[in-house]
Amino acid sequence: MTPPAGATVRPFRALHFDPRRVAIGDAIAPPFDVVSVEERSALAARSPYNMVHLILPRRGDEPHVHELLCDWRRDGVLVLDDEPAYYWLEERYLALDGTHRTRRGFIGLVGIEPYERAVVLPHERVREAPVIGRLELLRATRAHLSPIFGVYHDPQGRAEEALVAHRDPEPMLEASAPDGTRYVLWRVRSGHETVADVLAAKDSSGVLVATLRHYLATGSVPETARRELVHANTVGYRLGRVRDLTGLDPRVPQESALLVLGLGLPQEEVP
């Protein structure tokens, strides 16, 4: 069987706040699905331009969000970049163990792929109501207001190297959240071909194989999640995909033994 091609990733023209018109620190908000009712009220009170006004409307208010988005664009609060770019993001925060850490990544367009091709892998099974709510908001605004977090495989760091090397000398946006997290965002106007090549060349089924090897070596979902730096739900989903693709369930001892033989794992790697 021919392995699936990797993800299609492209730069795009971002619609973003103009820092000359808006205090960015007052405009940012956490992901919509972690904001409580009380937090939404507090964020909305911080600024008439806080993102919660767009990403957390009341059910049925989606058309109003479209009007608000158009108003912000007309008033110059939101501006559209002149040329396609990737956007390099650094999040600097204080971890629970007291150490200062930085999470790095980039924002770009990712092509939609059928799940069965195992190119872009969902990280968990989600409830229907939030999916419907996001879809209604997308249809009403014709804008993707909540980027989806993902990870990609690049052990040599080629994509990060290209993005950092080609980013603008100065950040385009900087802001601090109430919890002290510092966000710094740069445009990346060139070097796009390297990023696209790295992600397009990746056989994403390798992600499933890596997770399977760790699970077969440990027999533990939590330990596999710790080794791969992902949520336990992600491990459960990937093991389910292995079952769907091979007809063998790694969580059933007799079937996991066949998978061990198929992967050629040394006996000492298997518990």
Please report, for the chain, the start and end positions of each structural domain, with discontinuous segments joined by +: 9-115+123-201, 205-269
* CB count in 10 Å sphere of residue 180: 9
**How many other C-beta atoms lie within 10 A of the C-beta of residue 97?**
6
pLDDT at 123: 65
Predicted local distance difference test score (pLDDT) of residue 4:
47
pLDDT of 60 > 80? The answer is: no
CATH superfamily assigned to domain 205-269: PucR C-terminal helix-turn-helix domain (1.10.10.2840)
Say if pTM beats, i.e. exceeds, 0.85. no
* Phi and psi torsions of 221, nearest 5°: -65, -50
Give the pLDDT band (50/70/90) at residue 87. Answer: very high
State which of 2-16, 131-145, 186-200, 249-263 shows the largest mean pLDDT. 131-145
- What CA–CA distance (Å, rounded) separates 61 from 68? 11
**pLDDT at residue 3, rounded to an integer:** 42
pLDDT band of 91, cuts 50, 70, 90: very high
Three-class SS state of 233: helix
Other CB atoms closer than 10 Å to residue 49's CB: what's the count?
19
- Cα separation, 106 vs 104, in Å, equals 7
Average pLDDT, stretch 58-76? 89
Pairwise CA distance, residues 226 & 18, whole Å: 39
C-alpha span between 159 and 146 (Å, rounded): 23
Q: CB neighbours of 180 closer than 8 A, spacing ≥ 6? A: 93, 94
